[in-house]
Amino acid sequence: MRGFWGHRLRNWAGVVPWVVGVILLGHGAAWAGVAKIAVASNFQAPAKQLVAAFEQETGDRIKLSFGSTGLFYAQIRHGAPFDAFFAADVERPRRLEQDGAIVPGSRFTYAEGKLVLWSTKPDYMLGNGNVLREGGYEHIALANPKLAPYGLAAQQTLRKLGLWETLQRGDRLVMGQNIGQTHQLIASGSVSLGFMALSQIQRPGQAVQGSYWPVPSTFYEPIVQQAVLIQDIPVARAFLEFIRGPRAGQIIQSYGYEVPAGINKPHRVVVAE
């Protein structure tokens, strides 16, 4: 009997800490409140500041992942464990809504982006886009138009200027998988200029490094960015409500985005208990 019970006790000695750990982990997650959110690369800097403000206000935690809108859409369709999605367009959130992959009624516009042509060289553009036609550059960077809405806007701009086919034939286009990679290509000096989201180079209270040309909005379709709630958990819902409030609207605008008129309505934040 002693051998039998000794064997049983040794087994439970390994199981009990595991059970207790699982219970504590579950309790800690409920108490801390954690949401996993996919965010388009162009929104990286404001998203980090928004999360810091939200966490300070609520005590909850947000885990951010950054990448291209197209890739995130594909991952979410295949079951990636995100609780919310901040896309850089309308189309992917709309498709997710049509497929029943989001919380009904959660889709909304949080920002409208602006496209710029940017170089780290201070006097390269002098406030206009003539450098594109003059052709004094070896390559030009843009995000992949099939994956990134800002890449699509860049493609539309080059078509508007009658340069898309010429640059393609000349093998002068360098594409990043997302706008973050495209920024790195230019910032590192690998490419002398490229198309960028204004939010990638504008920081609140700081002068833009290098030179840039704000691409006229008539050159590309509006870059309307929408967010959706994928899993109806309190922290994710509260964060999306926070984004629609006045404090978040000011942060978003400080990075060069347009903010929808109705976004600055008072909001209710759910604080984890």
* 56-90 pLDDT, tens digit each: 999 999 999 999 999 999 999 999 999 999 999 99
Rounded to an integer, what is the distance from CA 182 to the centroid of its chain? 14
Q: Is the pLDDT of residue 140 over 60?
A: yes
Residue with tokens 């504008």: 202
Query: Residue 6 is encoded by which pair of tokens?
Result: 């000794």
User: Measured between alpha carbons, how far is 256 from 261 in angstroms, rounded to an integer?
Assistant: 15
User: Angle between the 44-58 and 234-243 helix axes, to the nearest 10 degrees?
Assistant: 120
* 175-221 pLDDT, tens digit each: 998 999 999 999 999 999 999 999 999 888 888 889 999 999 999 99
Q: Would you call 97 helix, strand, or coil by DSSP?
A: helix
Mean residue pLDDT of the chain comes to 85
